[in-house]
Amino acid sequence: MEQSRFIKFWDGILPFLIAYAFAQLLIIGMVTAFEGHHTMIIQNVIQTGMILPMGIWIKKNSVKQDFQEGNQHPIRLILCIFMSAALFSMALNQIIDALQIKELSGEYAKVSDALFSPGKFQIILCVGILAPVFEEVLYRGILFGALRKRFSYLASAMISSIVFGALHMNLIQFIYAAAMGYIFAYFYEKTRKLLFPILAHVFANGISLIMTFTGFSNWIFSKPLLSLMLAFLEGLLGAAFLVWFGKTHNSKKKIKSLKNKKMSNQEKKREK
């Protein structure tokens, strides 16, 4: 029994490991060739260029789920995604800073300096758009999708989120990425469409960049007690929007199920 679970786990994680290793080898080769110039752009262009073959793999191997095509209140869904992703992102950033966890990770300071050293346009392009697209295809589309075919949602979401956090290679980003990764997995589980976790990731990264560029981060971080109080409220509101998202999806699934049942009954009457 244990061996069977191990084999299932290995089968689920192997496609992800292959894609991740291939991307890193390409990045190392290109960065070396260009002698370290424009490292962030090179990395993200290579990663984004891998999306097409990854997307084809996901299409062939995805778990089929009943999801209404014509979209279920798209404005409401996007509003829920934006608010929950933005609020949870703000709350996590404020909690991490208020609890002074950053002092435990010297590696994070180096990553942060490197991340914000390029110009704003490059940061917005890479951190706000390209990285979320690639990471969602890789971590939710390939890793979570493959695990979900073999394990429960909870196990698949936890494993993929922990891997997502761990591969950021420092404590601060591990905590943040693992928590946000679980939320992104929830959106993918509910919809089976990568567009939704991609949007959530873009919104989360985007609000972090806005907080940094406007100086709001420095202001709120200078008031730890206020920061924690706001984080608590943001977490509650983010959870409320997640619940609303789930109810919106479930209600529309029930409507579609009733419609299918009605059409099936009509077809049976015609056959008689």
Count the helix, strand and coil residues of the chain and give each as a percent rounded to the nearest 5: 85, 0, 15
- CA-based nearest residue to 46, from 60, 59, 61, 33: 33
Q: Output the pLDDT for position 28.
A: 55
What's this model's pTM, rounded to 2 decimal places? 0.78
Q: Rounded CA gap, 50 and 131, in Å?
A: 12
In tens, the pLDDT along 184-229 reads 999 999 888 888 999 999 999 999 999 999 999 989 989 989 999 9
**pLDDT tier at 237 (50, 70, 90 boundaries)?**
very high
Instruction: Calculate the alpha carbon distances from 165 to 76, 161, 168 in Å.
Output: 29, 6, 6
Per-residue pLDDT at 255 exceeds 80: no
Which residues have a Cβ under 8 Å from the Cβ of 135 and sit 6 or more positions away? 164, 201
Q: Output the pLDDT for position 265.
A: 55
- Per the prediction, the chain carries an average pLDDT of 77
In tens, the pLDDT along 79-108 reads 999 999 999 999 999 999 888 877 777 777
In tens, the pLDDT along 44-64 reads 555 555 555 665 555 555 544
Q: Rounded CA gap, 192 and 231, in Å?
A: 30
Q: Could you tell me which residue, 117 or 263, shows the higher pLDDT?
A: 117
Look-up of token digits 């971590």? 139
- CA-based nearest residue to 80, from 91, 68, 70, 88: 88
Which residues have a Cβ under 8 Å from the Cβ of 132 and sit 6 or more positions away? 198, 201, 202, 204, 205
In tens, the pLDDT along 148-179 reads 988 899 999 999 999 999 988 888 999 999 99
Question: What are the helix and strand counts (H, E) for the chain?
Answer: 13, 0
Retrieve residue 35's tokens.
């002698």
